[in-house]
């Protein structure tokens, strides 16, 4: 059921300013001082499941912990690579100079020698030491607290990211001219059950959503190389 158009327009007008302009915000806010949350897919080992009793398979805002609605508008794509330290000293690639699961390095440059050396499979099929992330700055129109969200695809969900990129590319026009649906489906392998992301087309973005996404594009696209995704993790709570 569609929201009341006038109420939606009011909310979108407020969001289109993107940053609060009320009292207390007199000092300019740098983008690097803002946390951009990510869409976090909860797995069995996620702290929200282990400690807070939330359900596996939920997709939440990593900052507010609210459940994310299905509908979203992708705004632009950026790719990055992260080398997480192994979880145990006996695991391949463990670096004693870093804590277990700590980020050793990150890069957005595909020509970075670390990316070249550590993002591919080994000669005997060894898993890459670095994880590749396909990220989309996105807007979820029905979110209770409107804000940009980073939708990241890696590991077993990487295919869904490629599907989203393909759908947006083949559709033509601005990436944010169309809306999509985000969901999670359960998979199983020798390690057990886990969830992966799934995307599907959901028609054109409405005028208000398009304008908001366009504003966020203007704000963040020039700085995409500097965006750091909130709550990045190399643990299994991200994706199997």
Q: Is residue 133 part of a domain?
A: yes
Q: Is residue 71 part of a domain?
A: yes
> How many independent structural domains does the chain possess?
1
Asked if residue 2 has pLDDT above 60, the reply is no
Average pLDDT over the chain, rounded to whole? 86
What are the tens digits of pLDDT across the range 117-157?
999 988 888 889 999 999 999 999 998 888 899 999 999 99
Range of the domain at 174: 5-16+35-192+205-226
Specify the range with the lowest mean pLDDT, choosing from 5-14, 51-60, 78-87, 135-144. 5-14
Judge whether 240 and 41 are in contact, CB under 8 Å: no
pLDDT value at position 6?
Answer: 57
Q: Is residue 240 part of a domain?
A: no
pLDDT value at position 141?
Answer: 94
What are the tens digits of pLDDT across the range 77-94?
999 999 999 989 999 889
Mean pLDDT of the 211-228 span: 87
Asked if residue 5 has pLDDT above 70, the reply is no
Q: Is residue 21 part of a domain?
A: no
In eight-state DSSP terms, residue 229 is B
Cα distances from 193 to residues 56, 167, 228, in angstroms, run: 10, 28, 29
Q: Is residue 70 part of a domain?
A: yes
Mean pLDDT of the 181-189 span: 94
* Residue 138 token pair: 């996105």
Q: Which ranges of 71-157 does DSSP label H, i.e. alpha helix?
A: 113-118
Give the best-scoring range by mean pLDDT among 4-8, 201-205, 216-220.
201-205
Q: Is residue 128 part of a domain?
A: yes
Between residues 21 and 47, the one the model is more confident about: 47
Helix, strand or coil for residue 55? coil
Cα distances from 7 to residues 1, 3, 4, 11, in angstroms, run: 14, 7, 5, 6
pLDDT value at position 192?
Answer: 85
Q: Give the Cα separation of 130 and 119 in Å (integer).
A: 5
């Amino acid at each position: 059921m569609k929201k009341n158009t006038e109420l939606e327009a009011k909310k979108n007008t407020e969001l289109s300013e993107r940053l609060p302009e009320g009292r207390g915000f007199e000092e300019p806010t740098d983008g690097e001082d803002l946390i951009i949350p990510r869409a976090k897919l909860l797995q069995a080992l996620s702290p929200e499941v282990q400690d807070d009793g939330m359900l596996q398979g939920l997709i939440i805002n990593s900052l507010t912990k609210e459940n994310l609605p299905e509908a979203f508008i992708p705004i632009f794509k950026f790719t990055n690579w992260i080398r997480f330290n192994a979880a145990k000293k006996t695991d391949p690639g463990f670096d004693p100079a870093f804590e277990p699961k700590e980020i050793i390095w990150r890069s957005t440059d595909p020509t970075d020698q670390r990316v070249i050396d550590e993002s591919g499979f080994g000669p005997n099929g060894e898993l890459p030491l670095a994880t590749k992330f396909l990220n989309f700055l996105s807007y979820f129109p029905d979110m209770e607290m409107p804000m940009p969200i980073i939708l990241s695809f890696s590991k077993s969900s990487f295919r869904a990211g490629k599907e989203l990129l393909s759908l947006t590319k083949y559709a033509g026009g601005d990436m944010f001219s169309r809306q999509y649906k985000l969901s999670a489906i359960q998979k199983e392998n020798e390690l057990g059950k886990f969830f992966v992301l799934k995307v599907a087309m959901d028609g054109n973005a409405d005028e208000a959503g398009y304008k908001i996404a366009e504003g966020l594009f203007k704000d963040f696209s020039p700085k995409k190389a500097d965006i750091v995704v909130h709550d990045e993790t190399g643990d299994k709570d991200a994706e199997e």
